[in-house]
A and B are shown apart, each in its own frame.
Chain A
């Protein structure tokens, strides 16, 4: 399976890529939503995107909305991984089309649990 990790922090991307690699994912990385959309247009759809909320250029919420508006990206599971932990942000993300929501700080176990809920991990 293929995934994309979208976060402006290289450090967090590195941690998430290691977690996903242990779960068997081949990972792409992008520093913001616009870069992720460009990468998906070039590389084709992936099964999973882990998406930060606060990023320059295009934030995570705008990215989720763009993905859900693009039929070519149907079927991609979207998990927000963010410091934005209040209920209002959670509701906005789910209404925009996110499938799951994980708070920073996270552990490998939490990410695995979220992917299990989406049938993307055992």
Chain B
């Protein structure tokens, strides 16, 4: 079964607007973070008729801002737990909406979150199907869809 076209930019924009009141703008350069920047990654895996994963990546400073909006707290009050929860939920919503556009029967995993500098996320057996960069307040947000290579 061929995977249909998934509009990652539309899905991400809808989520950021509805849940955060933030606007995502198109980013026309290569969606790559500087190696010295701390980046948070939320990931959910998709299993079933389509197998793969969806990741949401953003600078930790932006992740803290996002968490502050979701928790209605000041950025200084936000800890790692809140940042992880917020990034995980962004990945969950993004992955869920991607899954909904795929045909067939699929399941979504619970989200996982990691952060650090200059690292690479891979899901064995999958390849990048689509990756987009967008900006929010000038900071890069990267959404990646990985699918099993025979999908």
Contact = CB atoms under 8 A, between A and B. Distances in A.
Contacts of B15: 104-105
Contacts of B95: 83
Interface in B88-137: 88-89, 92-93, 95-97, 99-100, 105, 108, 110
A29 B89 CA distance: 17
B1 interface: no
A10 B108 contact: no
A85 interface: yes
B86 A11 contact: yes
Given A105-B15, A105-B18, A107-B18, A11 B96 contact: no
A54 B46 CA distance: 13
Nearest to B102: A86
B96 A15 contact: no
A56 B111 CA distance: 11
Given A84-B96, A85-B96, A107-B18, A11 B108 contact: no
Contact of A11 (B85, B99, B105): B85
A9 interface: yes
Given A14-B72, A105-B18, A106-B18, A9 B89 contact: yes
A104 to B, nearest CB: 5
B139 interface: no
A83 B92 contact: yes
A10 B18 contact: no
Contacts of B88: 9
Contact of A56 (B71, B82, B100, B110): B110
B14 interface: yes
B19 interface: yes
Interface in A15-36: 15, 18
16 contacts: A8-B110, A9-B85, A10-B71, A10-B81, A11-B70, A11-B85, A11-B86, A12-B70, A14-B70, A54-B108, A54-B110, A83-B92, A83-B108, A84-B108, A104-B92, A106-B18
Interface of A: 8-12, 14-15, 18, 54-56, 82-86, 88, 104-107
